[in-house]
Chains A and B, each alone.
Chain A
Amino acid sequence: MKPPAFDYVCARSLDEAIDALGRRPGEAKILAGGQSLTPMLNFRLAHPGMLVDINRIPGIDAIRDDDGGVRIGTLARHRAIEVSDSIRKKFPILTAAAAHVGHLAIRNRGTFGGSIAHADPAAEWPMLALLLDAQIEAKGPQGARTIPAREFFTTFLTTALGDAEILTEVKLPALPAKTGWGFEELSRRPGDFALAAVAAIVTLDGKTIKDARISMGGVGGTPLRAPGAEALLRGKPADAALFEQAGKKAAEESDPSNDVHATADYRRHLVSVLTRRALTSAAEKAAQG
């Protein structure tokens, strides 16, 4: 037996799960796909007194069209996102990023909501939620609330969710017409967490950049937007020199640390290169769209 002993509750509804979490505040953890939590238990890096399994709650894995955007149920598996027609049509950046999420066996089991609630700064879904200005819906003993992605990720592996709150659904608002995307990630081996990743979307008005958003992963305690680089792009004609400049600005706005995988300087360098590539690819797609 590797994991520490815990009590197990298999919830059949969100209310039942919230109730169970509320009975053991600070001690109970939600078990969704378990692809991050179980390794932590196997190594005894986490000691929850209780696991509340949400895998058998009906309906919370749905991916639904909503007002031009989509709503992704918390229990939607990575694999369901990878193959969703609706997501491919409206947010192809998610389809592309899904291929970077772990490996097939991990994607079969791991969940969208679980990844966002786990809030690893190098994971794909948190940085894309931030990029796409996701509205994160949560339910707890005090009822339901909506948390904008910008306020959701507070620090390393930490979110705005309360102890007995469950992330229930993520709403991705529709993107404007003439919007293209770019997703660039560098990891040492396929399926590894990113040394650095950059996602960008660019909205064009003719040749002028009407709006640009940049989100960075693996280079700070949380996924980060690059507001300075975004401001620098707005209202200017899309060209290679501008993207180069925006890349440098984004690198300044990143906050990487040194670790066993890479130095902070190298990660900052990656941000500048990956940002330039992501913007270039986003602008090309926006021009075609």
Chain B
Amino acid sequence: MSAKHKISVTLNGKKIEREVEPRLLLGDFLREEIGLLGVHHGCEQGVCGACTILLNGDSVRACLMFAVQADGAEITTVEGIGEPGNLHPLQQSFWDHHALQCGFCTPGMLLTSIDLIKKYPLENDEQIRHGLSGNICRCTGYQNIVTAVREAAPGLRAAK
């Protein structure tokens, strides 16, 4: 086993310190060491998008980086954007438009969409679909996810 490294991370607004082995994936760190089970691992090769989190505000795959690399970073997972009774506007929109069925892809869809809305004009559904093409959903057929993002985007932009 390689030497452990000490890291300090601001996780959903709370500062934490841990010692990690270099090969520990950030996603496994968040799930298994911290218990943030909203970080879903699907493919573990960057293709399915379920493990997407925000790293210093940018969407990244938690399966494609190591926890040790997150030292000093601010990380937001789905647990950090809203909670029952106080949903994030995008979560509320997913609820209103029935944009999830089994929910496995949902955390990745939400965090990817937050970054997409921030960085792209998303002028039409085609652009939303293109933006979400790195997130795989096997239930919904995507239609309601696209609707939820489209309807929530103006409000999120105005709130900034």
Contacts and interface: CB of A to CB of B under 8 A. Distances in A.
Contacts of B112: 104-105
B22 interface: yes
A105 B61 contact: yes
A43 interface: yes
B63 to A, nearest CB: 7
Contacts, number: 99
Contacts of A8: 2, 5, 22, 66, 68
B89 interface: no
Main SS class of interface, A: loop
B131 A42 contact: no
Contact of B60 (A2, A5, A41, A105): A105
A108 interface: yes
A191 B133 contact: yes
Interface stretch (B42-50, B79-87, B145-153): B42-50
Contacts of A266: none
B2 A6 contact: yes
Contacts of B1: 5
A106 interface: yes
A281 to B, nearest CB: 20
Contacts of B25: 2-3, 38, 42
A124 to B, nearest CB: 16
Interface string B36-75: 0000000011100100100100111101111011000000
B60 A7 contact: no
Main SS class of interface, B: mixed
Contacts of A191: 133-134
Nearest to B53: A105
A105 B52 CA distance: 7
A55 B61 contact: no
Contacts of B23: 1, 3-6, 41
B130 interface: yes
Interface in A1-31: 1-8, 10, 31
B8 to A, nearest CB: 14
A222 to B, nearest CB: 23
A7 B115 contact: no
B3 A104 contact: no
Given A35-B46, A38-B64, A39-B45, A190 B133 contact: yes
A53 interface: yes
Interface string A70-108: 000000000100000000000000000000001111101
Given A102-B134, A104-B112, A108-B59, A42 B44 contact: yes
Interface in B1-29: 1-3, 5, 21-25, 28
B45 A43 contact: yes
A189 B45 contact: no
B134 A5 contact: no
Nearest to B116: A104
B52 A38 contact: no
B117 to A, nearest CB: 11
A69 interface: no
Interface of A: 1-8, 10, 31, 34-35, 38-39, 41-43, 51, 53, 55, 79, 102-106, 108-109, 189-191
Given A5-B21, A35-B61, A53-B69, 13 more contacts: A5-B23, A8-B2, A10-B68, A34-B64, A39-B46, A51-B22, A102-B46, A103-B134, A105-B60, A105-B61, A108-B115, A190-B130, A191-B134
Interface of B: 1-3, 5, 21-25, 28, 44-46, 49, 52, 55, 58-61, 63-66, 68-69, 112, 115-116, 119, 130-131, 133-135
17 contacts: A7-B3, A8-B2, A8-B22, A34-B66, A38-B25, A38-B64, A38-B66, A39-B44, A79-B58, A104-B59, A104-B115, A105-B46, A105-B58, A105-B134, A108-B58, A190-B130, A190-B133
